[in-house]
Chain A
């Protein structure tokens, strides 16, 4: 097994910052994504309680159900860091297991969101029904899309590990996908509180 020193030396070329460019770029991307979700959350809060017709949040939200979804997404963050730890110590088999577990938990979350959207739609909440419907679907839809993209990245990592593109030396790729995945998790932490748990007047 390679030493940690060797992993670090081989995983990126010398850069002017002394930091791997790919990781720096990922953090810059995440910073820009903060602004995207900041705008979407702001819009949701701005129009909170401003809908003239129902259904209103209290008519459709199922907090126990969404709480389970939140637990699922938090659990996926744990499996993601365990995948990273596995590849960093050269255990590719276990990395694949944890990556697949992360993807499965992500799929459960997205599946839950699709079910939630379908239920809301049947209860009369469409994208254009009221301001709540518009802001809610756009915000949570964007988040769900991020999760879906993350799942594709995770499955790609598993596939790449079979072709020799993911190794202990190339653990940076797993770390970058991990950063994206945890970002999706922290955005949900905010959405769960602001959208679901903070009560509205109606």
Chain B
């Protein structure tokens, strides 16, 4: 353990059927945080880059997706925990995305 209380060792726990569930080490968490900060800075930088809307929107969505996945997979441990949790969460997320697409396509919002 260093002076900040951060341990290098990952925390491992036995999961279902004796499978070992590994949670990331605090140093791994810090590395993820640095990536998140860089991607957020990239988002703001792209916002000010004066790109055409057709290029800006996909880039911003890619940045947001990277941040979303990093938090869900590492900080919320979905990459390491039982897939049952992931299935429930994916179901809710898929419902939200479906709602988004159905409403916006119905009202032709994308064409505006």
Contact = CB atoms under 8 A, between A and B. Distances in A.
B97 A193 contact: no
Interface residues of B, number: 55
A190 B68 contact: yes
Nearest to A194: B64
Contacts of A7: 13
Interface residues of A, number: 58
Is the contact region of chain A dominated by helix, strand, or loop, or is it mixed? helix
A114 interface: no
Given A8-B14, A31-B91, A89-B11, A189 B67 contact: yes
A179 B11 CA distance: 17
B23 A85 contact: yes
Q: Which among A178, A182, A193 has the greatest number of chain B C-beta atoms within 10 A?
A: A193
**Which are the 10 A-B pairs with shortest beta-carbon distances?**
A38-B96, A31-B92, A34-B92, A78-B33, A193-B64, A18-B16, A27-B85, A34-B96, A94-B5, A27-B88
Interface of B: 5-7, 11-14, 16-17, 23-26, 29-30, 32-33, 36-37, 40, 43-44, 47-48, 53, 56-57, 60-61, 63-64, 67-68, 71-72, 75-76, 82, 84-85, 88-89, 91-93, 95-97, 99-100, 103-104, 107, 109, 112
14 contacts: A4-B14, A8-B13, A23-B85, A64-B44, A74-B36, A74-B67, A77-B71, A81-B24, A82-B5, A85-B26, A178-B76, A185-B75, A189-B71, A198-B56
